[in-house]
Amino acid sequence: MGSPVSFKTKADGNVKYEEKNGLKEERIIFMLSLSIMDRGDEIMNDGIIFYMAAWCAFIYFTFIHKKNDARLKWAISILAAILLSGHEIVLGDVTIGLTLVGLFICSLFSLHKHAFFQMLRVVMVSFMIMMLYVLLHVYFLYDPAMLIAPSVLLIGMIAAAASVGLGRTESEALHVCVTGLILGDMLLQVAVLPLKGYIEAGGKEFLDVASISFCSLYVFFRTSLFIKSVNRMKTGRKITLKR
């Protein structure tokens, strides 16, 4: 075995790591930062948010939502996402969750339905969400943001807010959010490959972030629809989000 590498941190003092062929100092710092963030998000990164949100959505679309074609499609899609979440594609050091693959295929099928210029706009906005996803992960990796709220929660809500601001319609906002998160997770895994040594795309953390984003979008759209319906009523006073 190689000689141990030692460095000092404010929290832990001297920490020693050993590896067969030796370990670079920047890789040690990265892995330590990653472990600190994971400890801060220990409960949030095990997929519990995804499973809670997915099962609630499945029950809603199966038993509560009004009967139409969208009801059956959403119920089947959500159930498929739940079933696929426990399976992965493993190719050497590359691991890809089947739920991410399924979402990516659905995103591609939805993309071809747009006109050319609208398709181009969706792609550009999706790349913006992708870069935002990666930058937020890198920022929260070296910043104690989990003291305010878990980074998974913050990333999901910020991504949803950006999708609402950049998307012109509800369907477009949902589309760019899904596509941007998928591309962002792939880019993030490739970016940290030299430090981690493996790729794990579409893991439980990604599913939690996506679930928080979808729930945030749903709450915003339902709130907006409620305000619009109240404003149509002849009450003599309109309700707005402004003071």
pLDDT in tens, 105-127: 988 888 887 788 888 999 999 99
SS (H, E, C) 109-121: HHHCCCCHHHHHH
Residue 161: band (very low, low, confident or very high) from pLDDT cuts 50, 70, 90: very high
pTM score, whole prediction:
0.75
pLDDT at 224: 86
What is 28-44 written as a DSSP string?
HHHHHHHHHHHHHTTTT
The pLDDT tens digits for 67-109 are 887 888 889 999 999 999 888 898 888 889 999 999 999 888 8
Average pLDDT across the chain, whole number: 78
Length of the chain: 243
Residue type, 197: G
**Picking from 9-23, 35-49, 111-125, 150-164, which range would have the lowest pLDDT averaged per residue?**
9-23
C-beta of residue 102 within 8 angstroms of C-beta of residue 80? yes
pLDDT at 9: 41
The position carrying tokens 């747009």 is: 114
Q: Please give the Cα distance from 127 to 177 (Å, whole number).
A: 10
Angle among Cα 214, 107, 180 to the nearest 5 degrees reads: 60
pLDDT at 147: 60
